[in-house]
Amino acid sequence: MTRLSDHGRMNDSAPVIVWFRDDLRLADQPALSAAAATGAPVLCIYVFDERSAGLRPLGGAARWRLHQSLAALSESLAGLGARLDILRGAAADVIPSLAANAGARAIFWTRRYGGAEIAVDTHVKAILTAQGREAKSFNGQLLAEPFALKTKTGGPYRVFTPFWRALSTQTPIAAPLPAPKRLRAAIWPKGAPDRVALGELALLPAKPDWAAGLRATWACGETAARDSLEAFLDEKLAGYPAERDRPDIAATSRLSPHLRFGEISPRAIWSAARHRAEAKGAPAAGADKFLSELGWRDFSYHLLFHNPDLATRNYDPRFDAFPWRDDDAGFAAWTRGRTGYPIVDAGMRELWTTGFMHNRVRMIAASFLIKHLMVDWRRGEDWFWDTLCDADPAANPASWQWVAGSGADAAPYFRIFNPILQGEKFDPAGAYVRRWIPELERLPNACIHKPWTAPASVLAASGVGLGATYPAPIVDHAAARARALAAYRSVSGGKGEA
């Protein structure tokens, strides 16, 4: 065991380090609660690590969101008497160095579940243990950890329904922990790695500054997350099962960006929703459907833990032979919201402007790219990774693979969303389309989701010039569907419905 230097020898006043990652909050933060319980002075740190092998760099929208979350956490910690210190570098270098120079007695953190993240954490823990320090991790990110749920044969789940049954009915969900009432900030030790200011991380866009829509859309931080949850439970929970698929109605919680960086915990959401349903008479169906979405999040992490290359490799190896098309023009039109299918384009423009897209529209847009254009799902996943504020390392690839048919519990290959019918069903009056595609706002409801079918006189009266003010469809739905079905049959052995 490595001998501690004189100035680093642990004693009664030795500090405890809390290493924050995707858990940027005070309440239901087991690592922070454990540190507070020691009574020792605390060093609260965030390590911006772009050097450790295998870690996926954050996309632009997520970087913007991380800046806001870190700023909010810093303010919250200051209110308790603590301080957030930001470091930059490989975690296995800076954390052991800090611990040695501070003479830290223990280092606590929340567990992560990606392959590269686990490797980093395992390496850091080994170094700290060799130094003679306690290194302990906690579950603060999931309802149930991936290694805790197993099928009857002892393996990982591949289908959501039995996974959700095991999670929701057979797994005790721990009550959320309260935030510490007071913390004592430790002095930054001499010889420790240099701290950096939040602005030095350059997480915000500069030239051009494309984040105006994000700033206008989101309130960030733990208080905002809690307020969003309460507002949802008060106003939308009862109608959630019936209205959650309607992008024209503000019916969803919009908590996913808060969950992404841990401004709120899934256990806190679970507890609050259950309490509302049980104690205040809200319909149980609303809470059950809402909480099942947390179940899908846990399921995605279950898949990631057991398949670390989920974002790069087909879960179903049959899809390794799928005949993807290199349609750069089609991909560019999709990213810009210029496919000619209004519900798809509205979603892509909402994404670009706000860093968010309604979940139903995410499925429609993803299906269009994969099945209408036959562009590799990985290109779409990467675009969402860069443009979503809630770009999640598990949910993003798991969802894309679900739509593609290559994933676990995947949508059947013959399920090809018709963007016209999807728009008419879930945005019946065209309010969502009109919000994000103002050049179509004067079109009648009958043709708002298929403007190319409108008579020339209607287009003229509505100020729409197909191919000029708004594009004609870049692909015919029926022809694209037939092409996709043929390609899917080539890798599925011809099984399934046409």
Q: Which residues are tagged catalytic?
A: 293, 296, 324, 359, 377, 400
**C-beta pairs of 115-119 under 8 Å, 24+ apart in sequence:** 115/54, 115/308, 115/309, 116/52, 116/53, 116/54, 116/55, 116/56, 116/308, 117/55, 118/308, 119/53, 119/54
Distance CA 120, CA 134 (A): 17
> What is the CA angle 241-246-251, rounded to 5?
60
Closest CA to 341 of 331, 333, 329, 352: 333
| Beta bridge partner(s), residue 47 | 87
Cβ–Cβ < 8 Å for 463, 494: no
Distance CA 339, CA 472 (A): 8
What DSSP character marks residue 20? E
Contacts of 385 (CB under 8 A, 6+ apart): 56, 59, 62, 311, 391, 396
Distance CA 96, CA 128 (A): 6
- Side-chain half-sphere CA neighbours of 134 within 13 A: 16
Distance CA 147, CA 265 (A): 19
Alpha-carbon torsion (27, 290, 228, 397), positive or negative: positive
Distance CA 18, CA 447 (A): 56
Residue 138, class by beta-carbon neighbours within 10 Å (0-12 exposed, 13-18 middle, 19+ buried)? Answer: middle
Reduced to 3 states (helix: H, G, I; strand: E, B; else coil), residue 14 is coil
Query: How many residues does this entry show for the chain?
Result: 498
Cβ–Cβ < 8 Å for 139, 173: no
In Å, what is the CA distance from 468 to each residue of 207, 338, 357, 373, 464? 29, 11, 26, 22, 8
**C-beta pairs of 283-288 under 8 Å, 24+ apart in sequence:** 283/237, 283/238, 285/241, 286/237, 286/238, 286/239, 286/240, 286/241, 287/237
For residue 228, what are its two tokens? 């969003």
| Beta bridge partner(s), residue 177 | none
> What is the CA angle 264-265-268, rounded to 5?
100
